[in-house]
Amino acid sequence: MRAWTGPEIPTIDPAARDEMPTLRLHDTRSGSLVDSAPEGTARLYVCGITPYDATHLGHAATYLTFDLLQRQWLARGLDVVYTQNVTDVDDPLLERAEATGEDWQALAERETELFRTDMTALRMRAPQHYVGAVESIDLVTDLVARLGESVYRVDDDLYFDVHADAAFGSVSNLDEEAMRAVFGERGGDPDRAGKRDPLDCLVWQAPRPGEPSWESPLGPGRPGWHIECAAIALQHLGTDFDVQGGGSDLAFPHHEMSASEARVATGEEFARAFVHAGMVGLDGEKMSKSKGNLVLVSALREAGTDPMAVRLALLAHHYRSDWEWFDTDLTQAKDRLRRWRTAVERPTGAPAGALVADLAAALSDDLDAPRALEAVDAWTALDGTDAEASQEVRAAVDALLGVAL
Ligand code: 5CA
Ligand code: ZN
């Protein structure tokens, strides 16, 4: 799978770097804020799209969260290794292709390309490893083999026994009952006869009529969803990487299962922190491809909306909150962008130093983007005589918020 070229991200003055507070992030596993202070290199895995439809603002808000996180690490002078998957074979993709009569691979390729174009327009840093499930079949079957006795057969499908992992449940912090309640809604099959436990998850699915499958030492089939991310993350980041990220709908079962499979296979922790973005809604429901209540990034672009206004509209909500999109979000963001651009056109302004410190303080505190936007608003309302200020503010707003003025 091709990675793509993302935007150049301006560097922060090393002098300002030393003043930056420790970055703190909300970790779902511990249920609290944890320090994120990797040494030298930060390693990040973010769950990618299932490419059967175009990118909506909910997806964009989630990817923006992890873009902000990377900008914090980069501002501290760290190298960042970013891996993202693309679930390029899975039920929703095959179902959509079947329904429209399109070839499933052509559909996946087209939507993946549109995703990359959308992400670039929104100034998201590109992953170094952008990896599909299909190209990772060997990684998946190797990992299934490493799971040994914790994998068992139901008919010709292979399942992972979640009780093989004493720490199962520790990522999402849900009890059995809560887990069962959401498992079925989120791709699980709690009622499948022959499983040891209703929560056991599919790792290798035997061929079904009309569906693609691959030969493997496990027999013919295709990867289960959770093992896909475990295999890709372990291959490209190793164990105990810094952050596993995605939307809050992935905390259980997806991140719970991937982490469990990785722990059982390697004997080591999968990730240090599990960071989850809230759900964006539209018309009173979670924005989702299956419900069809979407505002698409590509549709906004086609309508001529400045992608920086879209980015600002998303930044105005804290990543951890669930929120609903209204057209007024965009109107307000456009106004803000206009005000900021007018302010940096002035020949002189108030010195940038205090603003850079405020931005760093807000974003270090669990990526508090709304507070960061208010700090920029406050700077634009000041007058001053510093002829360098505009240039420095432009660079800081781009480096830390990804908004090009
Ligand atoms: N391919 C899997 C992950 S391995 C998947 O969940 N794909 S997805 O296309 O359904 O979602 C891609 C990302 O967008 C996930 O991190 C998901 O949590 C996030 N996401 C989906 N819907 C929303 C929403 N309404 N608001 C915020 N984030 C969302
Ligand atoms: Zn994933």
pLDDT on residue 13: 84
DSSP-derived secondary structure for 262-287: HHHHHSS-SEEEEEEEPPEEETTEE-
pLDDT band at 316 (very low <50, low <70, confident <90, very high): very high
Of all residues in the chain, what percent carry a pLDDT higher than 90?
92
pLDDT band at 2 (very low <50, low <70, confident <90, very high): confident
Could you give the angle at which helices 137-146 and 256-266 cross, rounded to 10 degrees? 60
Q: Is the predicted pLDDT of residue 222 greater than 80, yes or no?
A: yes
Binning pLDDT at 50, 70 and 90, where does residue 15 land? Answer: confident
pLDDT at 16: 83
Assess contact for 338 and 296: CB atoms under 8 A: no
Q: Give residue 18's pLDDT.
A: 85
The minimum-distance atom of ligand 1 relative to the CA of 92 is: 10
Residue 112 pLDDT > 80: yes
Residue nearest to ligand 1 atom 7, measured at CA: 49
Q: Is the pLDDT of residue 83 over 90?
A: yes
Average pLDDT over the chain reads: 96
- Strands across the sheet with 129-132, in order? 129-132, 79-86, 41-46, 241-247, 271-277
Atom number, ligand 1, closest to the C-alpha of residue 247: 18
Q: How far apart are CA 259 and CA 25, in angstroms?
A: 19
- Domains along the sequence of the chain with CATH: 1-405 (3.40.50.620)
Backbone angles phi, psi at 341, to 5 degrees: -65, -40
**pLDDT at residue number 76:** 96
Ligand closest to the CA atom of residue 261:
2
* pLDDT tens track for 121-157: 999 999 999 999 999 999 999 999 999 999 999 999 9
What is the share, in percent, of the chain residues with pLDDT greater than 70? Answer: 100
pLDDT at residue number 304 = 98
Neighbouring CB atoms inside 10 A of 276's CB total 22
What is the per-residue pLDDT for 245?
A: 98
Determine the residue of 1, 136, 249, 274 to mutate for testing ligand 1's pocket, defined as the one with the most ligand atoms within 8 A of the Cβ atom. Answer: 249
Q: Measure the CA dihedral 247/248/249/251, to 10°.
A: 110
Contact 179, 255 (CB under 8 A): no
Residue pair 262/12 in contact (Cβ under 8 Å)? The answer is: no
pLDDT at residue 116 tops 80: yes
